[in-house]
Amino acid sequence: MSLTILFCLAFPLCLLAVAGRFNERPFPHRRIISRHEKDYTLVSRADACTLGAWQCAGNQLQQCYNGQWNTVETCSGNNLVCSAASPNAAPGCVWVTTPAAVVPSGTGTLASGPGITTTSPLGGDLNAHPVTPVGLSTAQLPNTPAPSSSSASPNIPAVNPAPSNITFSAPHYVIYADRTWTTQPTSSDLAPYNRFLLAFWLTTGPADDALAWQMVPAATKQTIIQDYHSKNIALMVSAFGSTDDPTTSKTDPTSIAQQLANFVKSNSLDGVDIDYEDSVAMQAGGAEDWLITFQTELRKQLPAPFLISHAPQAPWFAPNAEWPLGAYTKVHSQVGDTIDFYNVQFFNQNMEGKGQAYSTCLDLVTTASVWPKTSVMEIHSVVNVPLNKILIGKPLTASDATNGGVMDAATLASCYTLANQQGQIGGMMIWEWDATASAFMRTAIGSG
């Protein structure tokens, strides 16, 4: 699968991130995101600065990643100055009555040079090559960053930190974005999708397309969001993914929820998707309480009309000895009323000796065999999840899955029709966006 995540946004903006392979997990049924499939050999070197540190170089706010100082924001305009050393405020561009009253907290120069290879703070390999966007200088935008281990983030004014007044209701047609792209899709490009999810925000900070969005100038964000909202499209960020283990790594759920909510609000997003895949914690029995505490705080920080979705693997909705505390059956019973919908992963769930999981309409919609009690209708009847909160999640292509569950669009359309004959379900989720994704969804939902 793709190793290079090149997200080039319209108005032009290009950020490049390359990721390698993360450690294997004992649980074989999880979704493996496409960024982490092959190995890289790392070149040892000494970093020129401390990963995640902030400084001011004149009016430029800079952060350390890829072993060098990179400009995140240029503080320009009346009474705006760079501040990176205040003990009472996050690094950022701050407004003062008299600019001379604030002295820049540090000096430095933006490093340049050939591609640099380094070790990712995520525990995997990260191979990053600096790229200068067309039409923009390195003084305006940073080279491609690795996710920072620092929880601090720039104090950059948001376009709209409050939720929009749009009501986003079912059906939800969801697509994730974490792949090589040359343009940010417009609302016309995305149709019939109405939920566009930027992957991923990690416990160490934004990465890949989520990080690219953070770097977009405020005015450009506003233009894109206005276009999306004109077609009732919600722009969201997806958190965690298969490479992040927030419970096993002993992060504080309340703090992580607050940091994630701050990212959503400060980047003018309509909500967040929780792609929790800490399988070790789910098997050990610690995941449920972590998720319940996390979701409770997240909804407190992001009240309606902010959207909050979760993307559990379908087997996590069934009573099973592998997850003794109930997995998402417990999560839903405790905080399901605060979750808007579930992007249920009905793929990558084959089990050796038991056949193909969720590969037929019967197994997917009415009576699951490989993972009993986990079809769409069984999740509804056994776990009491409202049908309008259940989305059928499938991969776009065979290369987007690693362990079964792939369906062509015509077959998926038959399954979707069958599900809706039982009662209106919440919609459909597809992993992940490319130029063929819109046509696939139109066929799958029967809209052309």
Most distant CA pair in the chain, distance: 72
The pTM of the full predicted model, rounded to 2 decimals, is 0.69
User: Over the stretch 152-185, which tens digit does the pLDDT of each residue have?
Assistant: 333 434 445 556 678 899 999 999 999 756 678 9
Q: What is the pLDDT of residues 416-429, one digit of tens each?
A: 999 999 999 999 99
Picking from 203, 366, 364, the residue whose alpha carbon sits closest to that of residue 275 is: 203
Numbers of helices and strands, H then E, in the chain: 11, 18
Phi, psi dihedrals of residue 301, rounded to the nearest 5°: -80, -30
| Mean pLDDT, residues 2-29 taken together | 35
Give the pLDDT confidence score for residue 94 in this predicted structure. Answer: 61
Report how far residue 81's alpha carbon sits from residue 71's, in angstroms, rounded to the nearest whole number: 14
pLDDT tens profile 200-250: 999 999 999 999 999 999 999 999 999 999 999 999 999 999 999 999 999
Asked if 393 and 425 touch (Cβ cutoff 8 Å), the reply is no
Range in 76-85, 117-126, 175-184, 342-351 the model is least confident about = 117-126
Question: In sequence order, what E strands does 204-328 have?
Answer: 205-206, 234-241, 271-276, 307-310
According to CATH, what is the number of the domain 172-445?
3.20.20.80
Of the candidates 419, 422, 413, 420, the one whose C-alpha atom is nearest the C-alpha of residue 442 is: 413
User: H/E/C letters for each residue in 67-94?
Assistant: CEEEEEEECCCCCEEEECCCCCCCCEEE
On the question of pLDDT at 198 being above 70, the answer is yes
Least confident of 161-175, 296-310, 377-391, 400-414: 161-175
Domain ranges within the chain, ordered by starting residue: 54-101, 172-445
